């Protein structure tokens, strides 16, 4: 597998770290995907994927002042366009997981002529104020226990070494992302050697999360994203409600939902055959057989 690493500088002079894999003519941008490069190796045939760390994440530069972080998710949208322009590609596929699922949707709305196809995986809901009924969200004792343990950990934060704090945080939080505890060892997000990752909660709480909560997307906004969108979501996702995925698939004009039954927040790990094969089929230009329209 051909791999190249480097940095791309944004308009406000922050460097974004990327890892380019594959050599195919079709190009996909995978935001916040660097830790998952190996997980998605099977979809590389015939395409190039640029996995990159957003600003203030991983090996990308830390924001030096408020102006470089205060717009939250909208900075990430602009950075996607910077990366597309850097590689000189007229149209790209964009892939985003979790909160980055919102990012790629916003990018598709803002730059529709630059986007060929969109893949959302375990995305946050389009309307953060919406309350979903129990059959469209999943909360169990695993989530309750993790939140309780996090509360206790926060009380100790001032006394802990930052690396130790980071490791304990991920030890507590990882069980909520999978249904089978045996899959926890496959999660690779705990990059506690990175100062950005150790310190991510502060900018998340202050800027990123509020910027998503403040979104007021209209029918006109959704209507701008006319390209095919594949929405992938587990029915037992504790981090983003399954109902949010149904809303994305219902509100975007050319979207279909791939439901991953009994999966949590990382369905490509929990059901790799279904999810990775479906992404590959979709990026090759066809709808996966299991993807459905939502009325």
Parse the chain into domains and list their residue ranges. Answer: 3-137+192-283
For the chain, 295 residues long, the average pLDDT of each consecutive 10-residue run is 91 97 93 94 92 97 96 98 97 98 98 98 97 96 96 91 94 97 93 94 95 98 98 97 98 98 98 97 97 96
What is the reported pLDDT for 45?
87
What b/e string do you get for 178-201 counting C-beta neighbours within 10 Å, with b at 16 or more? bbeeebeebbebbbbebebbbebe
Of all helices (H) and strands (E), which one includes residue 172? Answer: helix 162-173
Return d(Cα 121, Cα 10) in angstroms, integer. Answer: 26
**DSSP at 131:** P
Of all helices (H) and strands (E), which one includes residue 259? Answer: strand 255-260
Return d(Cα 230, Cα 115) in angstroms, integer. Answer: 13
Phi/psi at 56 (5° precision) = 70, 15
What is the reported pLDDT for 157?
86
pTM of the predicted model as reported, rounded to 2 decimal places:
0.96
**CATH number assigned to the domain covering 3-137+192-283:** 3.40.50.1820
Return d(Cα 156, Cα 260) in angstroms, integer. Answer: 37
The backbone region for 58, taken as left when phi is positive above 0, alpha when psi lies in -120 to 50, beta otherwise, is left
What is the reported pLDDT for 23?
87
Beta strand pairing status for 229-234 and 92-97?
unpaired
Q: Which residues pair with 18 in a beta bridge?
A: 6, 52
What is the reported pLDDT for 1?
65
């Amino acid at each position: 597998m051909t791999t190249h690493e480097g940095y791309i500088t944004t308009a406000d002079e922050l460097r974004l770290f990327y890892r380019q894999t594959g050599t195919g003519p079709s190009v996909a941008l995978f935001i916040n995907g660097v830790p998952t490069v190996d997980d998605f190796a099977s979809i590389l045939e015939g395409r190039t994927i640029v996995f990159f760390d957003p600003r203030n994440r991983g090996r990308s530069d830390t924001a030096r002042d408020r102006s470089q972080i205060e717009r939250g998710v909208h900075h990430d949208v602009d950075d996607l366009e910077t990366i597309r322009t850097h590689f000189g590609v007229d149209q790209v596929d964009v892939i985003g997981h979790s909160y980055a699922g919102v990012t790629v949707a916003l990018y598709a709305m803002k730059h529709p002529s630059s986007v060929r196809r969109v893949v959302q995986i375990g995305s946050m809901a389009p309307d953060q104020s919406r309350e979903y009924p129990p059959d469209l969200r999943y909360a169990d004792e695993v989530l309750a226990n993790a939140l309780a343990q996090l509360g206790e950990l926060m009380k100790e934060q001032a006394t802990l070494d930052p690396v130790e704090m980071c490791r304990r945080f991920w030890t507590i939080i990882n069980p909520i992302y999978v249904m089978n505890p045996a899959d926890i060892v496959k999660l690779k997000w705990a990059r506690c050697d990175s100062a950005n990752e150790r310190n991510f909660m502060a900018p998340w709480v202050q800027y990123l999360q509020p910027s998503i909560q403040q979104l007021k997307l209209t029918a006109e906004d959704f209507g701008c994203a006319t390209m095919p969108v594949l929405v992938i979501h587990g029915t037992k996702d504790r981090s983003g409600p399954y109902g949010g995925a149904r809303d994305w698939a219902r509100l975007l004009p050319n979207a279909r939902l791939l439901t991953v039954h009994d999966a949590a927040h990382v369905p490509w790990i929990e059901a790799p055959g279904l999810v990775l094969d479906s992404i590959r089929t979709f990026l090759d230009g066809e709808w996966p057989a299991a993807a459905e329209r939502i009325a």
